[in-house]
Amino acid sequence: MSPRLQSRLPLLVTATILLLLFATASVTYRYFFSAGNVVNIFTAQSSVGILAVGLTLVIFAGGIDLSVGAVAAFSTILVATLVEKHGVHPALAALFALAAGAAFGAGMAAIIQIFQQPPFLVTLAGMFFARGAAFWISTESIEIKNPLHQRLTDFTVQGGDVTFHPLPLLIFVAVLLAGHVLAHHTRFGRNLLAIGGSEQSALLMGLPVGASKIAAYTLCGATAALAGVVNTFITGSGNSTFGVGLELDAIAAVVIGGTLLTGGRGQMLGTLCGVLILGTIKSAIDFDGRLDPAWTRIIIGALLLGFILLQRLLLRRLERG
């Protein structure tokens, strides 16, 4: 097997699993293979997908960010509070939330880089800090009654027999496309992969290691905040309990998508496949109606373990070859 094919094997496996899962569910459950259900899967996974795009960039560089779910929750409650209690325009509130998320990501990255601390520990502390800040703002859900925000929340599109809310889906697709271009068609993306492959070698090559890592975490924080903003359009409210465990779903989607958890290898298209695998599993369990939702976690856990073992096997073959 050629090295190029070996490097693309995780993506091929992920895409094959996605097709097999969707085909099996389509045969088993009536109406599963329909435009309406496909759109629903994309829409339901929009927040996880947006988080996963930002996390992919961080994981490319060998990092991790456990705070994204908490940052998303902080974003929802911040937007709701600014709009409802302080009369801020929804667009300005959303921009403020994005700026706060980006600044938070940059701050964690600066601590990681300057003090040479493990990303796991720094972002774990960041997770507690962001969740605590969200609860400090409000422990109760805040409904957003602003007319403009409500129009965006209630806006739907009719396409044939399918009625769906397009805004979360469009934002997810836009973020995914931007992430793909950034990861695979810019020097910044190549720098992240080089850093993840070997940070010491990247330094010797004169690459801007510190600046690249800080930029990756900044973008990850911004996408986490954006996921929270998107959720306010889905639910019409801000909630400090939103996103509990969402960071684990996003990390699982990235790894199942074929991105090495240690960094240096990965595909943004694989992340999309990983997100859709999670969505397909959840949708199939909903269609069945008899299975406990716990099976979602069991299946995702099995897939995650399988991909970690596959990545380890491929790494050994590449090192020998």
Q: What is the pTM of this model?
A: 0.94
Domain ranges of the chain: 3-320
Say yes or no: domain 3-320 is CATH 1.10.3470: yes
- Predicted confidence band at 299 (pLDDT cuts at 50, 70, 90)? confident
Within 10 A of 83 (CB to CB), how many other CB atoms are there? 24
pLDDT value at residue 7 = 63
pLDDT digits (tens, 9 = 90+) for 89-128: 999 999 999 999 999 999 999 999 999 999 999 999 999 9
Cα–Cα distances in angstroms (integers) from residue 296 to residues 39, 92, 238, 300, in the given order:
20, 37, 26, 6
